[in-house]
Structure formats: C-alpha cells, structure tokens
Amino acid sequence: METQYTNILIAVDGSKAAEKALEKAIQIAKRNNASLVLAHVVDTKTFSTIEPYDSAIYERSQAYAQDMLDTYQKNTDFKNIKTIIKLGSPKAVITKELIPEEKIDLVVVGATGLGAVERIVMGSVSGSIVRHATCDVLVVR
C-alpha cells in the first residue's frame, strides 16, 4: 500500500542540495495532489556575535530569505505552495514548530546544506530532523 501525503514541508537554505530536494518535493506533491510548504529558518544563533555591530542583520536576513523563497516559487510550475520564514534554530523550528503547526506528513530536505562547520561540531540539520521529526522524512542526495 502506497502512502498518500497531503502536506509536504521542504526546508531550503539556498544550497544545491536544497534545490535538488525542492525538485523531489514538487514531484511527490504533484503525484499526491498535496500542498507544499516551502520554508526557510533564519539561523539566529550566529547573530549574538554580530548584532552589537550590525543591528540590521535580522532585516537583511529576512529579506534574503524572502528573495530566495520568491525565486524558488517563481521558478516552478507547481502552484499549491505556501512560503514561511521563521527565526531560530532550524533543527528545533522545523521539528517542534513547523511540523505540528502545518500538519506536515512528509519533510523533504537536502543531505547537506550550507553549514559544513556546524555539521562537524553539532551534526547536520537534516540528521536532526530525521531523529526528531514526528512524520516521514526524505533526505535527498
């Protein structure tokens, strides 16, 4: 029996892996006649060292995220897409906020994102989502 997905979350960070994951998420959404939530979480943990010197960092980060999501959305023929920008730790926001708030039944993420140093120190965002998500997770390589 094939699983039917209705609400699919694709978490993007601007990386090539995220672009591949978006392509796969769109294919799955089309096959399942599902809604797609395209989300970017602005990682705020690095802001603590920058903020005293640059108070506009939040605004620029959100503007960058909005431009990125708009570009992804514009470059696809899939129309049932909702975009979301959140602030915080991507690992926590995706698993503890976005999945329950949007009633997500499948998360699609790229195998590697932009944070190579973070992967070494703390583990990847995709790995954390796999361990903590309450729904299916597809990691795209």
CATH of domain 7-140: 3.40.50.620
CA dihedral of residues 38, 44, 47, 52 (deg, nearest 10): 110
Q: What is the pLDDT of residue 121?
A: 43
Q: What six digits make up the tokens of 62?
A: 């959100």
Kindly tell me if the per-residue pLDDT of 117 is higher than 80. no
For residue 96, pLDDT over 70 is answered with yes
* Between 57 and 87, residue with greater pLDDT: 87
Q: Which residue has the tokens 């997500």?
A: 104
CA atoms within 13 A on the CB side of 93: 16
When pLDDT is averaged across residues 67-92 and rounded to a whole number, the result is: 94
The distance in angstroms from the start CA to the end CA of the chain is 25
Report whether pLDDT(1) > 70: no
What tokens appear for 54 in the block?
């640059």
Name residue 88's beta-bridge partners: 43
Q: For position 97, what pLDDT does the model report?
A: 98
Residue 125 pLDDT > 90, yes or no? no
- pLDDT-derived band at 101 (thresholds 50, 70, 90) equals very high
Domain residue limits, the chain: 7-140
Q: Give the count of beta carbons closer than 10 Å to the beta carbon of residue 105.
A: 18
CB-based contacts of 66: which residues, under 8 Å, 6+ apart? 85
